[in-house]
Structures are given as structure tokens and as C-alpha cells.
Amino acid sequence: MNGLGNQKGMNLIEVMIALAIFAIFVTAFMSGQGSNLRDSYMMKEEITMRTLAEEVINEIIVDPPELREALTLRPETRNFEHNANYSYSIEWSKFEIQNILNALTQGNNQDYDPEAVSRRQMQERINEQIASNLEQLVWQLMVTITDNTTGETFSISTLLYNQNAQVNFGNF
């Protein structure tokens, strides 16, 4: 009889250990599933906001406003007509290239050769004209989408060509 009682006790301990292992497995599985669901929701949210931002940019490309200095004063905020949970802001800025051109042509300013100085001065005038033309031709547009329920934001930026810009080649 003594041996039979010990065997029943072992079965109970084995069942409790198996239940503990199963509980740990279920907890880990459910935790992983929760993370997957959260990540899937966040990815869906990001895809939705990206799609909305691209929609706004495409509308602007199809029907661009007159690109003028007044656009850069402050961002313009609007709501989507077809999706009340999201709003967007449009921010315009002029393209600035002068610092890039200066860095590219910056060389040894200690050069006293009159021909080298003349070439450098000519290159600087050309760079200034290129920068002036590019600043008129190219504008930067940034669209920021905001989820009004969560406060999450997504921004995307692109460069636009100003079809009404006047290019000046100057005298060289």
C-alpha cells in the first residue's frame, strides 16, 4: 500500500509541473501575439498616413499653387473631407544650394596666381547664378499627416519644379 500512495503523489507533482510549463508557454505565446497585434496596428497606421500624405502631394503636383514667397510664411493645416480622423499640414520652403556650391568650389584661397584668381572669381559668379536659378526653379514641400485620435504624425517631403520661374543666364 505504501508504494501505491507514493505513486499517486508523483502523478500530482508531475501534473503540477506540466501545468506550470504549459502556463509559461501560454503566457509567452499570448505576449508574443499581443506584440504582433500592436505591431500590425502600428504598421497599418503608418501605411494609412503614408497613403494620405502621397495623396496630398499628388493633388499638389496635379494642381500646383503659384510658388511665391508668401507660401513659406506658415504651414497650412487642413482636414480630410473623406477621413475625419486625420488632418494634414503643408509646409513650403525655398530650395537653398548656395552653401553646397561654395563648399564644392572652395579651394586654396592663398593662390596668388592672377589666372587662378580670375578662374576662381568666374566660378564663383557661375555658382551664384546657378544657385539663384535653382532657388527659383526648385521648391521643397513637406506634408505632415496627424492622426487626430492618437496624436501620431507622419511626414514626407519632396521637391517640386516651379514651371513659372524665370531662368537668368547672366553675362560671363
147 pLDDT higher than 60: yes
Instruction: Give CA–CA dist 13/80, Å, rounded.
Output: 62
Evaluate whether 143 touches 92 at the Cβ level (below 8 Å): no
Q: Examine the pLDDT at 148 and tell me if it is beyond 80.
A: yes
Q: pLDDT of 34-93, one tens digit each?
A: 888 888 888 999 999 999 999 999 998 888 888 777 777 788 899 988 888 999 999 988
| pLDDT value at residue 1 | 47
* Residue extents of the structural domains in the chain: 2-161
Beta strand ranges found along the chain (DSSP E) = 76-79, 86-94, 138-147, 153-161
Contact 55, 153 (CB under 8 A): no
Q: Residue 149: which of 83, 64, 91, 53 has the closest Cα? A: 83
Instruction: Compute the average pLDDT of residues 4-21.
Output: 76
Helices 114-137/98-105 angle, 10° precision:
160
CA–CA separation, 23 vs 15, rounded Å?
Answer: 12
β-strand partners of 89: 77, 144
Q: Is the pTM of this model over 0.85?
A: no
If one counts every other C-beta atom within 10 angstroms of the C-beta of residue 102, the result is: 13
Spatial separation of the C-alpha atoms in residues 102 and 108, rounded to whole Å: 13
